[in-house]
Each structure stands twice: as structure tokens, then as C-alpha cells.
Structure 1
Amino acid sequence: MNGVSLFAGPGGLDLAAELKGVRTVGIEWDANACATRVAAGLATIHGDVTQYGAADIPGAVLTGGPPCQTFTIAGNGKGRLELERVLEGIKLLEAREVVDPSVFSDPRTALVLEPLRWALEAIDKGIGYQAIILEQVPAVLPVWQAYAGVLRREGYGVATGKVRTEQYGLPQTRVRAVLIARYGAPAALPAPTHRPYRKGVPQHEGDPALLPWVSMGEALDRPQPFTVISNYGTGGDPKNRGRRTSSEPAFTVTGKISRNRIEGPVGNPRPRFSHAEAGQLQGFPADWPWSGSDIPQQVGNSCPIPLGVALIKAAIEVPPAAGQDQAPTTQAA
């Protein structure tokens, strides 16, 4: 099975797809991410997603994670403020009209509409995708829900919601808004395989039907114990710095992961996470050939591999239980 990966980055969803037997071609504009992809042997087009369409790269599966900078809490927030314009853009696309990206104050906001443009173009050309898998920051969920209404009217079964990455075996807590669509078939989000992480709740406690969440210490080959001290979300206030030990999952991995300090058991400094370790916290193999510059940003922008595998498996392999293709559902955030 072949597919196309939009905003492909250094290969998160692509590697996940290939692990499930889907060979993808990724479109990515960032030269650094393309360098990593090429080094990893991933089929790559260095270009702008908006300049291509479904007829250029036919495939059975469409995957994508549009840029998050205008939607994420850590970004400029312009996408969240212009959500109504995004939803109006979805209506225009369903009517087969053109969306003018200049109506958005940040052109990156308009990119969240590209997967739908591709999907509808594929349908109109008679080469519609069998499956569509999309993921982004939680603030994009209303966009995916609006997508769902359009895709259902085009014959897809669709499921949307928020998922927690540690519940799919990632050694990191990260919440993502996801969409799975299957043409002519009901869709459902993948069932969690691991327990949710709760501060202060031991790893061995919780639902016995689920596996324990995975800790940083289990994922990384470095001396333990250690403590990670994060600056993420502190606003510069040292009192707000979060701490997690090697016996817990990592904080959400972002492009600023190299700023996290690491201490040994008596407060002694330890080496900060290497590029390879940061990648492992996103589920990449330890030998993934990170290339180019700004590697922490490449890592932080990637779709976590275990989550990607679960999403693709749900889209192409697992027939969901009857009655699960309902209105968009939200899993625990």
C-alpha cells in the first residue's frame, strides 16, 4: 500500500506507516528535516504542500500534521484566535471554492486546511484515499471535527478526539488531537494499550488489562536515577520549573528540549539529552540519522512513532466495533 505524507517533517508518521506496510512519499519544505529524511532513506519531495495535489502523488493513504505554531499554547495563538475563519475555510473547500490564505494574519494558519483540500481533490478525480490519518496539538480538535462532517458527507467513517501518547507506549506525556477516516467503513480511535500517567501513582497500579506506562529510564541508556528539570511553561519563573525523575515519563518534548537540565541523585549536573535521546523519547530508533541543523525542533515537531503506529493500524487494519462511528468522540485529555 502506498501513501502520501503532508508536512512530513523528519519522518514520524512516515516511519510509523512503513512499520505497518505503507510506503509513503513525504512532502516537506524544511531543508533540515529533508536532510534527516534522506539520510533515513525515506522518499522525499523538498517542496511546498500547497503547490501539489492528490493527482501529483496518488496513494491509498493520506497522513499529515500541519504546522502547529499558530495553534499551540507555546506559539503565537493566531490560529486559535482565527478559528472561525478556519471553519469558514472548511465550508468553502466543501463547496469546491478556493480559500484565500491572505485572509489569515499568519499564513501558516491556512496550512491546516491543506489535508482537506487534498482529500476532496482526490475524491473529485476518482482517486479518493482509503484512509486518512491526521494529528496535531489539542487546540486543532475543532478543525478535525469540522473535517469529520465534510468527510462523512463524502462517504467516510470518521473518528476524532484527543489521545494521550503515554497510553500507546511512548515514554512521554503528550496530548494530541487526531482524526482517522476510512472510506466506506466505520472508524474508531485506537484503544489505549498502556495506563495513563498520574503524578504520584506508581507505575504498577491501575487497570490490570493495560500495560504500565513507560519511563524515561526504561527508554534511555544512561545512568540512573536522574531528574529532569524543565523550563517549559515556566514563563521564566524558576519556582514553576517542573521536575520528573527517570522513573517517570518525560515532559512533552518540544524544540526547547535541550534547555532541560538533568541532575543526578545528589543534584550533580548530568549531560543534557542528546539528539538521539530526544528522538528516543519520541519513539525514534536510537540510531535515527538526525541531520541538518535545528535538530531539537525537528524532534519536537515529529509525530511520536508509537502513536503513529496505533493510528495507522486503526485506519488500515482494525475493523472497529459496531456503533463506534458516531459524532466525534473525545478520549481523556
Structure 2
Amino acid sequence: MTSAAPHQSILDKPYVLDLFAGPGGLDVAGHSLDIPSLGIEWDRSACLTRYAAGLDTLHADVSAVRRDAFESLPPEINMLAGGPPCQTYSVAGKGAGRKALDEVKEYIERLMAGDSDEEIDKDLKNLSDPRTAMVLEPLRYAIRATRSPSRDFRPYDVIVLEQVPAVEALWHHYARVLEKTGLPDGTTYKVVVDVLDTETYGVPQTRSRAVLIARREGLGEPSLPAPTHHAYEAKEWNRRSDRTSTDVHQPTLDEDSAPQPEERRGKDDVREHWTSMGKALADPVGTHPGRKTPFLVRSNYGSSGIPGRRGVRTDRQPAATVTGRISRFVVFEHLDENIVYEGPRFSMNEAGMLQSFPPDYPWSGTAQAQQVGNAVPPLFGAHLLSAALGLPAPDPKALRTPWQRATDEQQAKLRSHGCGAADDCTARCPSPEDQSPPRSTSRPRKNERVSGQ
């Protein structure tokens, strides 16, 4: 499906600075669109993944680069993108960020009024969780660009941000000040904000994200990407009434009997059916051998809102939100009327494919499941970048080609730039104790037999 948007980008040579870059979701999106990028990432293992993938990277703290090394960034960068850490805003966390929303809005006002970095940093120390302040970094980078001699004081032309839905209120505040107040130098932007569902863009996973797209005044009105696929509607998936197990049930809505999109939404609706796990994983590609269907997946997420059958989906549904717990998802195969048997759990390659990463993406280092779960789905990111630049909707086939791992020589060169040495971190890298999220303690169980109770 293609967009009616013009094929010419609003920028002659887009170049993305990806803050909080993780293992490379937005960078892979840019790669599929032939848009170069530079990512800043603090976690060592995520950087190892990025080096193995051949992505230009700085192993550094985003705040430290802004303070101490901004002038060394490529002056050609004209797009700012990123997804600040979400732990304190996420509904799964303790909610420190949600409680601090009003306080963070006050910091936004102070930044736009031109308060000094020193004053802001001093007061930010009073926040209960320092990660909450990270949501301010994109704005601080936008302001810093207008004060940079190496850039001839040029502001960024385009800003693209994404976060968990709880941050939507802050993005709306961003939008208000970018449009009405303007940066301290007077630069203003046109901005759109909304919460989007990734399965409506072809990602084989249900995941909602708060999105902001901004264009500098004079570059036209920005728009959100048009959905290419239908939303997943859990209530349409009925359960068999003759099963009594409350542990594992198989939804039985046949695709042939499911309400078709044109029946529900009219003949002019050309959106595709959402992408299922089976469609994403069934066929062999690269080193992925293909996964047998049918299968069931049991996760820690609810499904269809039915108590007692929590977290069960079939291969004909999209995955539940992929998080750092993806390695805990139990996959059942060899289904019959009364008994199912546990099959192999998702490999990191498969988990990445459920996030729309290309097959054979070179996940490296430790906490790989966490890397996968924290990443921006590349196909979703490609839609965001395309919309921000006025390009047509991306071709999902561009992300189905197996990824080519960087050679040892290429990785050494990238690491020399990103860490300061070809084979190791240096003193300029974040301290080791801060570089890795906690590892999962769950271990896959083999040959588990689950029957009706």
C-alpha cells in the first residue's frame, strides 16, 4: 500500500540524530529508507548489537554528549529523533514520571524561557527518579542546536519522538510550546501528536505509542502516517465453549468466517488485515528455519478480556506487546482436542522479527530480550520517518531481507568511533555498572505437558 504523499522529501539530504538509540530500531528504519543516522546509546550490550549491525554509534550518555561533545556531532544532522527511557512513565512501572508530569511541564517552560543549563541541572536533582528528566533531552538538544557555532546556529528541521502512551500529555505540552512559544531563538514548529497502534502499520504485534512529529515553520504542515492495516480487535476472537481448561485455550475464529474489513468498514477501505505471528514467522528466511503452525503463545498479558484465559494468543493473531519478558513467553505446538505440548520458545531472531526487525539481525551482548523489548519497531519507525519527511508509506518487504552482519573490520572502525578503541570501551564510555539492565531470571522449561483440568 502506498501513500498519496509526494515522493520528494521535504529535506534534500535527511540525516537523523537518534537519541536513546537502543539496538537500532529507528536506525534500521532509516536504513530501509536510505536515510543515514547517528545513534547515541548508553548501554554497552545495545552498542555491541549496533556495531554488529553496522550502525554508526556513540557509546555515551545523551546528557553528557549535549553538555560536553555537542560541537563534535556532524553539522549536517537535520532531524532529531528518539524515545526517552519510559520506565518511570510506563503503566508497568512505579509511576514516578506520571506523578511528576506537572513538574516536568514546568521545566519545559523554563527551558523555552532560556533558563541556563546549570540552573536546570541543579534543580533536576530534586526529582525522585533521575530517568524522569530524560524526557526533556530532545527539547534540550533542539535548543542546543540553535546555540551551536558548528551548525551555524541552525535549528533542526524535523523532530520525531515516540514513547509509551502515558507521555502523550507531555508531547502535547511540547507541541504547545514549540508552536506558540518557540525556542529561545524564536524558531517555531508545526506539530502533530497522537497515540498510534503499531499493528495498524503492519507490525505483527499490538503495541501503542505516543508519537510527536514536528516540522520547522516553513516546511509545511506535518501529518501522522496513514494506517496501512486494520486494528486488532480482540473481542472478535471467540473461544470454544466445549473446552474447560482455564490454562491454555485456543481461539477458534476461522479466518474465512471472520468479519472481513470491507464488510465492517466499507468497500473504499483498502487497508490490509493486521499481520499475524504466523505470517511473520512461519516461512523460512535467512537462518530462520520457519516455525510450525498452528501454535499458541501464553504470555503475562491479557487476551480478549476473558478472565482465566489470560495472555493466550494463536499464530493467527498478532503478538502481545513484546517486552523484555519475551523469552518467558511459552509456545505450545502439536495441538489436538484436549492436550497441547510445549514447543521451543521464541529465539531472539524470532522475537526481533515480531518487532519487525529484519531476520538475522545480530543481537549481541547480554540482556538481549530486554534490548528487543525496548526497541522501536523498525517498520513503525519507517512509517514515522516517512510521514515526517512527506514520503510515501514504506515497503515492508524492505525489512524482510536478512540483515548482513558487519565484518570484524567494520565493527572495529565503528567501535573506535563510538567507544574510543577498536576492541574495548574507554574512560569516555558510561561506567560499567550502569550499562546493563537486569537480566531475566526465568528459564525455559522443556517438554512441559499442559492438559485440561
Q: Secondary structure at the match of 2:130?
A: coil
Q: Distance in 1 between matches of 2:215 and 2:80?
A: 11
Pick from 268, 272, 277: which aligns with 1:211? 272
Amino acid at match of 2:356: G
Pick from 169, 179, 192: which aligns with 1:142? 169
Amino acid at match of 1:25: L
Alignment of structure 1 residues 15-54 onto 2, 5 Å: 15-53=28-66, 54=70
Amino acid at match of 1:144: W
Amino acid at match of 1:187: P
Q: Which residue of 2 aligns with 1:81?
A: 99
Moved more, 121-130 or 102-111: 121-130
User: Does the 8 Å contact 2:280/2:353 carry over to 1?
Assistant: yes
Offset from partner CA, 1:28-56 (integer Å, 9 cap, x none)? 00001000000000001000000123543
Q: Quote how far apart the aligned CAs of 1:240 are.
A: 5.9
| TM-score (normalised: structure 2) | 0.67
Q: Which residue of 2 aligns with 1:325?
A: none
Q: Which residue of 2 aligns with 1:182?
A: 215
Q: Which residue of 2 aligns with 1:327?
A: none
Q: Distance in 1 between matches of 2:309 and 2:144?
A: 47
Q: Distance in 2 between matches of 1:285 and 1:300?
A: 15
User: Does the 8 Å contact 2:302/2:312 carry over to 1?
Assistant: no
Q: Which residue of 2 aligns with 1:243?
A: 312
Q: Secondary structure at the match of 1:93?
A: helix
Q: Which residue of 1 aligns with 2:284?
A: none
Q: Quote how far apart the aligned CAs of 1:3 are.
A: 1.9
The alignment status of 1:292 with 2:292, answered yes or no, reads: no
Q: Which residue of 1 aligns with 2:343?
A: 270
Q: Distance in 1 between matches of 2:20 and 2:272?
A: 32
Q: Which residue of 2 aligns with 1:166?
A: 199
Q: Which residue of 1 aligns with 2:133?
A: 110
Moved more, 55-64 or 190-199: 55-64
Number of residues of Structure 1 aligned to a counterpart in Structure 2: 316
List runs of 5+ in structure 2 lacking aligned partners.
1-13, 238-257, 282-289, 393-453
Offset from partner CA, 1:151-188 (integer Å, 9 cap, x none)? 21332111011000000000000000000011122111
Aligned-residue Cα RMSD (Å) equals 1.7
Amino acid at match of 2:294: P
Q: Quote how far apart the aligned CAs of 1:101 are.
A: 2.4
Q: Quote how far apart the aligned CAs of 1:87 are.
A: 0.7
Q: Which residue of 1 aligns with 2:400?
A: none
List runs of 5+ in structure 1 lacking aligned partners.
320-333
Q: Structure 1 residues 216, 34: CA separation in 2 closer, same or farther (over 3 Å shift)? A: same
Q: Distance in 2 between matches of 1:32 and 1:75?
A: 23
Q: Distance in 2 between matches of 1:89 and 1:178?
A: 20
Q: Which residue of 2 aligns with 1:56?
A: 72
Q: Distance in 2 between matches of 1:115 and 1:55?
A: 16
Structure in which a larger fraction of residues adopt strand = 1
Q: Which residue of 2 aligns with 1:8?
A: 21
Q: Distance in 2 between matches of 1:142 and 1:133?
A: 16
Q: Structure 1 residues 270, 87: CA separation in 2 closer, same or farther (over 3 Å shift)? A: same
The alignment status of 1:130 with 2:174, answered yes or no, reads: no
Q: Distance in 1 between matches of 2:364 and 2:370?
A: 12
Q: Secondary structure at the match of 1:254?
A: coil
Amino acid at match of 1:308: G
Q: Which residue of 2 aligns with 1:65?
A: 83
| TM-score (normalised: structure 1) | 0.91
The alignment status of 1:314 with 2:387, answered yes or no, reads: yes
Offset from partner CA, 1:292-331 (integer Å, 9 cap, x none)? 0000100000001111001000111249xxxxxxxxxxxx
Offset from partner CA, 1:209-238 (integer Å, 9 cap, x none)? 21110000000020000011112369xxx9
Q: Quote how far apart the aligned CAs of 1:149 are.
A: 1.4
Q: Distance in 1 between matches of 2:309 and 2:131?
A: 31
Pick from 128, 151, 155: which aligns with 2:178? 151
User: Does the 8 Å contact 1:55/1:122 carry over to 2?
Assistant: no
**Percentage identity across aligned positions?**
49
Offset from partner CA, 1:177-212 (integer Å, 9 cap, x none)? 000011122111111111111122637434432111
Amino acid at match of 2:292: P
Q: Quote how far apart the aligned CAs of 1:239 are.
A: 3.3
User: Does the 8 Å contact 1:156/1:186 carry over to 2?
Assistant: no
Moved more, 23-32 or 122-131: 122-131
Q: Quote how far apart the aligned CAs of 1:260 are.
A: 1.1
